[in-house]
Copies of this chain bind each other. A is one copy, B any other.
């Protein structure tokens, strides 16, 4: 069976039309619908688990081999989702990295429209200066660097520090909203106070300075591990006493919030800490929205002293493995301890 003349003419007209679409700067919907508007989200990202025992030695080696300084700015190694090859993104909207700051090192000042948090995995006696406010970084603390605040880090010890960086880099890139500026080469302050100005003003439960207005991101620069630990411990204890507080049986959780609004601490990234009672398995949850989750079989002890955790070894026996459930991935967790 061969094409008729009409068929040929119609095919020619169609070919011409599609050529004209291209000339006119048009792309028809009907040839692309499935990719553009899938029945359910088809994220390129995949669930992935990184092993701390693999990450830490690599970070340590980079500490020996790669200097930190102006230009490179930070010794941060981004988790690259295997479904997003070549992209330094943990999920389609989140950037998550291990940052390593060697003994006596300084990471220089800059600021950017991207919002950031840091979560300290090990060490103390590093200070993050945020717009001139020196904020101590200690194991288990969550620290904020809201959009457009100048920040820099200095390590005043002979030990390295490792922390997690979380930023909204992919989201801001998609929105074409990224701005970046280098700060001065000199540290804005070499002070090493126990508590930052931000904490002295804001870290009082339920109290706010009358003089300070609402802000979209939290003005509280640091959420200390001792508070987070106490809050999680209390929820699990209250559960035993029959008092509501946990998310579900054996599953405690707090949200880092902005004391001026009660909403999330950062406008672009939700930050939470959960704790599972040993033997608990959470309800599987599937959501539109991705996550980077750090898991650890045992919680840190609050206010533990450096001596208990010899440098370079703290991670060995106590892995804190990041894993990244992308959008629409069904996720549940099991607890090995309390």
A interface list, Cβ under 8 A from B: 10, 13-14, 17, 20-21, 24-33, 36-43, 45, 48, 50, 54-55, 58, 61-62, 65-66, 71-82, 86-88, 92-93, 95, 97-98, 112, 114, 169, 171, 173-181, 197, 199-212, 214, 218, 220, 223, 227-228, 230-231, 234-235, 237-238, 241, 243-247, 253-262, 265, 272, 288-290, 326-328
**When A and B form their complex, which 7 residue pairs have the shortest distance between CB atoms, in order from nearest?**
A30-B72, A27-B88, A200-B234, A176-B327, A210-B253, A29-B76, A204-B231
User: Please, which residues of chain B bring their CB within 8 A of the CB of A30?
Assistant: 66, 71-76
Q: Is the CB of B259 within 8 A of A231?
A: no
User: Please, which residues of chain B bring their CB within 8 A of the CB of A82?
Assistant: 25
Mind listing 20 A-B residue pairs with CB under 8 Å?
A17-B61, A17-B66, A26-B55, A28-B75, A28-B78, A30-B71, A36-B95, A40-B179, A41-B176, A45-B176, A93-B174, A176-B328, A177-B289, A200-B245, A201-B245, A207-B227, A208-B255, A208-B257, A211-B244, A259-B259
Taken together as a complex, chains A and B put the C-alpha atoms of A49 and B227 apart, in Å, by 41
User: Please, which residues of chain B bring their CB within 8 A of the CB of A174?
Assistant: 92-93, 171, 174
Q: Is the CB of A235 within 8 A of B206?
A: no
The 8 Å CB contact of A78, one of B26, B61, B178, B265, is B26
Taken together as a complex, chains A and B put the C-alpha atoms of A261 and B258 apart, in Å, by 9
User: Please, which residues of chain B bring their CB within 8 A of the CB of A289?
Assistant: 175, 177
CB distance from A250 to the nearest CB of B (A): 13
The 8 Å CB contact of A181, one of B14, B39, B114, is B39
The 8 Å CB contact of A206, one of B95, B238, B256, is B256
User: Please, which residues of chain B bring their CB within 8 A of the CB of A247?
Assistant: 210-211
Taken together as a complex, chains A and B put the C-alpha atoms of A4 and B201 apart, in Å, by 56
User: Please, which residues of chain B bring their CB within 8 A of the CB of A26?
Assistant: 55, 58, 77-80, 98
CB distance from A17 to the nearest CB of B (A): 5
Taken together as a complex, chains A and B put the C-alpha atoms of A37 and B75 apart, in Å, by 15
For A37, A71, A234, which residue has the most chain B Cβ atoms within 10 angstroms? A37
Q: Is the CB of B237 within 8 A of A200?
A: yes
Q: Is the CB of B80 within 8 A of A27?
A: yes
User: Please, which residues of chain B bring their CB within 8 A of the CB of A209?
Assistant: 231, 235, 245, 253-255
Closest-by-CB residue of B relative to A72 is B30
18 further A-B contacts with Cβ under 8 Å, apart from A29-B77, A30-B75, A176-B288, are A17-B65, A24-B54, A25-B81, A27-B80, A27-B88, A29-B72, A38-B178, A41-B178, A175-B289, A197-B243, A201-B234, A204-B231, A206-B256, A207-B254, A207-B255, A209-B253, A210-B272, A258-B262
User: Please, which residues of chain B bring their CB within 8 A of the CB of A234?
Assistant: 200-201
Closest-by-CB residue of B relative to A59 is B26
Taken together as a complex, chains A and B put the C-alpha atoms of A202 and B50 apart, in Å, by 34
Q: Is the CB of A206 within 8 A of B265?
A: yes
Q: Is the CB of B93 within 8 A of A175?
A: yes
The 8 Å CB contact of A36, one of B58, B86, B169, is B169
Taken together as a complex, chains A and B put the C-alpha atoms of A173 and B209 apart, in Å, by 32
Closest-by-CB residue of B relative to A182 is B39
